[in-house]
Chains A and B, each alone.
Chain A
């Protein structure tokens, strides 16, 4: 039987196992919405702004490992979605975004709500497609999901003109798809893996430096096994948190600009660096000239272009993280060679000394609420088991430093693009994927206002997200840089004329709380967590000039941190 393009699209999504579709209707996608209306398999979540549709799909993907899916209309629908697409692209998140387009005979005519969505999104997608013939639609959707979820994942945009959604074709969803120009590598080169294992065993001062690729590649279990087999220290990047249990003794904390003293010192002094699913980002390396001066480097990554991009490595291995790590574990278990235990013991002694600096200590006697205290309180109240999304700025760093993630997929933040406004819609995606779990959105009074309209979506779908706003009346990270590097000239970093967040939350039908006293933090947190079925907006009035420490200033090496 012949189906319309709109019906083919919806059936294809169902074939892909899509249960949630985040979107916003408009002229170019009306046929699609009509087809969605007539079925129950794919649930549509109506956001309040297309940026939130892409962030929510992204949060869904980051909390499950499954691709997130968004649907927006042509023109402004597509351009509003771009921030969310670019966010997903920078963090390699599998996502499929369907954009409506004006009818094929109108393309290029400056038609109403027309924009060249393929051109606009080209630099921030893994791939994109314009579907000109309804006969190609099902196969294109299959390809879109295949590309988004394999190799180094990423967002794929499918632009569908309105007439294509009305035209009819026979529906047959392809079982599989093969593309001569796209064949992602999975297995690592065994010779290289052997070289890597030999180098790992020859180390006197080793460290595992692991990133988001371990989470995305589903390699957390293998990483934990490998690291514990060797008893080597592990540091995670901002994107990799949860890939190795943060409460384990071998974990030395996050590294980089706001990483722990012990993580950065261990990095700087290591002699063998085992990088896995990480990309030597500038926030991680500090000054590249001073980066790990004594290290021989092994780098495992699914994306060849990540290898030796910023830092030249000695043993590159292109392959999927769990596959390569399993090979390494097999070689280590079958071989009889051991690492130098005396050297390793001395290394751990040194690391424990760095640890004893206690770089994350803060003032517990202050009359103001310290933001760090709020995150610790959140950690305790949720038993370390919540899905935590964040926006971007100081609160993001405090959440990363003080919430000890033991599992992957729990820490959800915009690491690469640094998108303010990400936290709340991402929390919606995570909450819909995990209806019974606690989902907390750590944010600031600046970031939350960038997608505040989504409080309405949360009401509509009954999403009991706990919003933890660290309200210091400043764009905190901007203010911190102005304090350090611009002689305290606080240009435009003060948030004047803030709304009353309690009343705002209440006006959207949610619960609002304002907490101003350090002694009230834990009690309020417990109370909020007890409100299982309600969204609670917790407005924590925090110490205005608290800074994120440690910090590596621009141009410095990992060993040149500013401590408190």
Chain B
């Protein structure tokens, strides 16, 4: 979409005005600074997804839109999870982070902050694997998506 002030609120406003769900939304400029790329994760019946697609395409700021889930694609999301890490738990979280290909990026005497980049589903699995009481806070970036192979959004 056009990298214009207000473009994001047009998309967000459309979803709330028409009663569609947004599970996550990420947006940032591309290699061409006049364009931003947005990934929206939403759910709905086939008819609803069709309407969402059409309504988004109608927004003047939207240059091109594809439904990535129609084809092979890659989804990635980053999560930062800060956990209480004392005593035996320190070793346990180290192992858990390794299993999920996460990295411990900040260490104090009592906490770890673990970074994990994976599909949204994997991140949910990781968070579920940790005892909720032990989580101090969680930050998730929302999903970014891209088609597999040579396909791209560029015309």
A residues in contact (CB < 8 Å) with B = 118-119, 122-123, 126-127, 130, 147, 179-182, 303-305, 308-309, 312
- B17 interfacial by beta-carbon distance below 8 Å: yes
Residue in A123, A147, A180 whose beta carbon sits within 8 Å of that of B17 in the complex: A123
- B57 interfacial by beta-carbon distance below 8 Å: yes
Give the chain B neighbours of A180 by CB distance below 8 A.
63
Assembly CA distance A309 to B51 (angstroms): 7
Q: Given A126-B60, A180-B63, A303-B58, 20 more contacts at CB 8 Å?
A: A118-B6, A122-B6, A122-B9, A123-B13, A123-B17, A127-B60, A130-B5, A179-B60, A181-B1, A181-B60, A181-B62, A181-B63, A304-B57, A304-B58, A305-B51, A305-B54, A305-B55, A305-B58, A308-B47, A309-B51
Can you offer 30 A-B residue contacts whose CB atoms are under 8 A?
Answer: A118-B6, A119-B9, A122-B6, A122-B9, A122-B10, A122-B13, A123-B13, A123-B17, A126-B60, A127-B60, A130-B5, A130-B6, A147-B60, A179-B60, A180-B63, A181-B1, A181-B2, A181-B60, A181-B61, A181-B62, A182-B60, A303-B58, A304-B54, A305-B51, A305-B54, A305-B55, A305-B57, A305-B58, A308-B47, A309-B51
Nearest residue, chain B, Cβ from A123: B17
Give the chain B neighbours of A309 by CB distance below 8 A.
51
Give the chain B neighbours of A182 by CB distance below 8 A.
60
Assembly CA distance A303 to B10 (angstroms): 18
Residue in A118, A303, A308 whose beta carbon sits within 8 Å of that of B50 in the complex: A308
Give the chain A neighbours of B62 by CB distance below 8 A.
181
A414 to chain B, nearest CB (A): 20
Assembly CA distance A126 to B62 (angstroms): 13
Assembly CA distance A130 to B55 (angstroms): 22
Total contacting residues, chain B, CB less than 8 A: 19
Within 8 A of A (CB), among B5-36: 5-6, 9-10, 13, 17
B121 to chain A, nearest CB (A): 31
Give the chain A neighbours of B9 by CB distance below 8 A.
119, 122
Give the chain B neighbours of A312 by CB distance below 8 A.
47
Interface secondary structure of B, over-half rule: helix
Assembly CA distance A179 to B54 (angstroms): 18
Assembly CA distance A126 to B17 (angstroms): 14
- Counted as pairs of residues, one from A and one from B, with CB atoms less than 8 Å apart, the total is 35
Give the chain A neighbours of B47 by CB distance below 8 A.
308, 312
Nearest residue, chain A, Cβ from B10: A122
Nearest residue, chain A, Cβ from B2: A181
Give the chain B neighbours of A126 by CB distance below 8 A.
60
A357 to chain B, nearest CB (A): 37
Nearest residue, chain B, Cβ from A306: B54
Assembly CA distance A123 to B11 (angstroms): 11
A130 to chain B, nearest CB (A): 7
Assembly CA distance A118 to B50 (angstroms): 27
Assembly CA distance A542 to B120 (angstroms): 66
Assembly CA distance A127 to B63 (angstroms): 14
Assembly CA distance A180 to B2 (angstroms): 9
Nearest residue, chain B, Cβ from A179: B60
A303 to chain B, nearest CB (A): 7
Give the chain B neighbours of A122 by CB distance below 8 A.
6, 9-10, 13
Nearest residue, chain A, Cβ from B7: A181
Assembly CA distance A123 to B55 (angstroms): 12
Assembly CA distance A470 to B2 (angstroms): 50
A193 to chain B, nearest CB (A): 20
Nearest residue, chain A, Cβ from B55: A305
> What are the 5 A-B residue pairs with the smallest beta carbon separation, nearest first?
A305-B54, A181-B63, A127-B60, A304-B54, A123-B17
Within 8 A of A (CB), among B53-101: 54-55, 57-58, 60-63
Assembly CA distance A118 to B1 (angstroms): 18
Give the chain A neighbours of B6 by CB distance below 8 A.
118, 122, 130
A490 to chain B, nearest CB (A): 34
A443 to chain B, nearest CB (A): 31
A85 to chain B, nearest CB (A): 15
Give the chain B neighbours of A147 by CB distance below 8 A.
60
Assembly CA distance A122 to B6 (angstroms): 9
Assembly CA distance A122 to B4 (angstroms): 14
Assembly CA distance A118 to B10 (angstroms): 10
Within 8 A of A (CB), among B98-154: none
A297 to chain B, nearest CB (A): 15
Give the chain B neighbours of A119 by CB distance below 8 A.
9
Assembly CA distance A119 to B13 (angstroms): 10
A429 to chain B, nearest CB (A): 26
A116 to chain B, nearest CB (A): 10
Assembly CA distance A305 to B56 (angstroms): 9
Assembly CA distance A233 to B145 (angstroms): 50
Give the chain A neighbours of B51 by CB distance below 8 A.
305, 309
Give the chain A neighbours of B57 by CB distance below 8 A.
304-305
Give the chain B neighbours of A123 by CB distance below 8 A.
13, 17
Assembly CA distance A130 to B6 (angstroms): 10
Within 8 A of A (CB), among B31-51: 47, 50-51
Nearest residue, chain A, Cβ from B34: A180
Assembly CA distance A531 to B13 (angstroms): 50
A291 to chain B, nearest CB (A): 15
Give the chain A neighbours of B55 by CB distance below 8 A.
305
Assembly CA distance A305 to B61 (angstroms): 16
A506 to chain B, nearest CB (A): 46
Assembly CA distance A181 to B10 (angstroms): 14
Give the chain A neighbours of B13 by CB distance below 8 A.
122-123
